Structure 1
Amino acid sequence: MTRFDRSERRIWAGTAHAYAATFARLCAHPVPALLDAAAVGPRTRTLDAGTGPGTVAAAAHARGAVVTAVDAEPSMAALARRSVPAAAVHIAALPRLPYADAAFDAVVANFVLNHVGRPAAALAELRRVLRPGGALALTLWPSPPASGQALLGRALHTAGVVRPPELPSLTPEDDFPRTPAGITALLDTAGFRRSGCERLDWEHRAGREEWWSGPASGVASVGRLVRTRTPEVRAAIKQHFDALSDEFADADGVLTLPHSALLATAHR
């Protein structure tokens, strides 16, 4: 495990229910397009890598697929087992998965590549478990982010919060551009064929307090940054969040937050 991977384990430990109640609805938006891109349908042997609370696994099962799901966080795997009892859910972390070569017809990974310390090695492992001719589809957040996704980061920045050493970034040799060209090049390097990427744009609607509850509950790296600050700094972050979110709010205080994701596809 890299230093980044160890940090991710700490960030996500025990957060399954908090994530399911906050950011999971946002991350569910690309799921139909993700499954379409991987041609997931009846009897498709499908691996959902980084299943989280089981959102993608449930959607794949509803299509008649034979679903296996994996997550590095035990609380996520436990929630996925309860949510999708028909799926085989295991605890494991990229870039090492407990499956045989060519075990799956399709592999999907919804916003997982943002959370692994060695993205190229993770993709090589996903290719290993995919049968020849099988399809991979994955989503990830782009950089720079859309304005709605950037809101929480802007509140932290305005409050003077900087990323501390205990929240490391990827090493330069492991990092890659979060652009269509960047992810396509990474897929090609991992040995995939017919790699491609498109941008998905949508507007996520959420109440102001609902959107704040994610970081307030400690979900993801932004939540870690909020929860580890002093009460005074947390209050300042919230004050800036309230002010900055006005530009997205309607008369009832509901936020319309523009978001974008990259949807990449490739074949073994």
Structure 2
Amino acid sequence: MTVFDQAERRTWAGRADAYASSFAALCAHTVPALLDAAGVRGGLRVLDVGTGTGTAASAAVDRGALVTAVDAEPGMVELAARAAPGVDVRVAALPDLPFADDSFDAVVGNFVLNHVGRPRAAVAELRRVTRAGGRVALTLWATPPAPGQALLGRAVQAAGATRPAHLPTLAPEDDFPRTERGLVALFGEAGLAEASCRALDWDHVTTPERWWSGPAAGVATIGQVITGQPPEVVARVKAHYDELCAEFAGPDGTLVLPHTALIAHGRA
């Protein structure tokens, strides 16, 4: 396990409920397109890696698939098991999955690649557990981020907050361009054929309070950055956040936040 992976485990430990009430609705938007990209349909053996609250696993069950799901955080596994009855949900993490070669007809991962320390090894592991001819499909946040995704980071920057020392970045030799071309290249390196990628743009509608609640509880890297500051800096971040929210004001006090994700798929 890399230093980055260790930091991810600490970041998500005990925060499943806070994620479920904040960022989970955002991440759920890509699930239908992700399952389409993997060709998920009735009767297929499907693996959902980094299942989180189980949204993709549940949607795959609704399509008639036979679904297994894993997540590195036990709290997420508990939520996913409740959300997707009948799914085999267990604790496991990339790049070491507890499955034999060729175990699944399709493998999906909704933003899981953002949370692994060795992305190349992770995609290679997904290819390993996929039968020949089966599809692997992944989503990833694009770089540079869309305006709505950048809102919290802008508030942090405006407040002069710095990244805490306990939050390592991905090692340069393990990173890759978070672009359509970069993700296709990553799939190719892992031995996935016919790789392709497209961008998916949408407006996530939420409220200022709900969007702030996740980071305020330490959810995700941005939450760890914010909660790792002294109280006076957190207050400055919140003040800048409140000001910047005006740029995305929608009707009835909502926030309308433009987001962009990449969806890639390839064949084992």
Q: Distance in 2 between matches of 1:89 and 1:139?
A: 20
Higher alpha-carbon deviation: 193-202 or 206-215: 206-215
**Partner secondary structure for residue 242 of structure 2:** helix
Q: Distance in 2 between matches of 1:58 and 1:2?
A: 30
* Aligned residue number for residue 222 of structure 1: 222
Contact 2:164 2:228 in 1 (8 A): no
Unaligned 5+ runs, structure 1? none
Contact 2:26 2:204 in 1 (8 A): yes
Q: Distance in 2 between matches of 1:214 and 1:34?
A: 24
Residue correspondence of structure 1 range 101-112 to structure 2 within 5 A: 101-112=101-112
**What amino acid is the match of 1:149?**
Q
CA offset at residue 252 of structure 1?
2.8
Q: Distance in 1 between matches of 2:81 and 2:251?
A: 40
* Aligned residue number for residue 135 of structure 2: 135
Residue correspondence of structure 1 range 1-268 to structure 2 within 5 A: 1-250=1-250, 252-268=252-268
Q: Distance in 1 between matches of 2:200 and 2:67?
A: 25
**Partner secondary structure for residue 161 of structure 1:** coil
Q: Distance in 1 between matches of 2:250 and 2:169?
A: 35
**What amino acid is the match of 2:33?**
A
CA offset at residue 161 of structure 1?
1.1
CA offset at residue 214 of structure 1?
1.1
**What amino acid is the match of 1:108?**
V
Equivalenced residue count is 268
Q: Distance in 2 between matches of 1:242 and 1:209?
A: 10
Q: What percentage of aligned pairs have identical amino acids?
A: 61
Higher alpha-carbon deviation: 229-238 or 255-264: 229-238
The one-character-per-residue Cα deviations of 1:53-82 (angstroms, maximum 9, x if unpaired) are: 101000000111000000000100111111
**Partner secondary structure for residue 252 of structure 1:** helix
CA offset at residue 241 of structure 1?
0.2
**Partner secondary structure for residue 237 of structure 1:** helix
Instruction: Say what the alpha-carbon RMSD is for the aligned residues.
Output: 0.8
**What amino acid is the match of 1:233?**
V
The one-character-per-residue Cα deviations of 1:70-115 (angstroms, maximum 9, x if unpaired) are: 0000100111111112100010110000001000000000000010
Q: TM-score, normalised by structure 1?
A: 0.99
Q: TM-score, normalised by structure 2?
A: 0.99
**Partner secondary structure for residue 252 of structure 2:** coil
Unaligned 5+ runs, structure 2? none
Q: Distance in 1 between matches of 2:252 and 2:235?
A: 23
Higher alpha-carbon deviation: 136-145 or 228-237: 228-237
Higher alpha-carbon deviation: 104-113 or 80-89: 80-89
- Stretches of 4+ aligned residues off by more than 3 angstroms: none
**What amino acid is the match of 2:259?**
H
CA offset at residue 251 of structure 1?
5.1
**What amino acid is the match of 1:198?**
R
CA offset at residue 225 of structure 1?
1.2
**What amino acid is the match of 1:132?**
A
The one-character-per-residue Cα deviations of 1:174-232 (angstroms, maximum 9, x if unpaired) are: 00000000010011001110000000000001111111111011110111111122221
CA offset at residue 234 of structure 1?
1.0
Cα distance change of structure 1 residues 46 and 251 upon mapping to structure 2, 3 Å threshold: closer
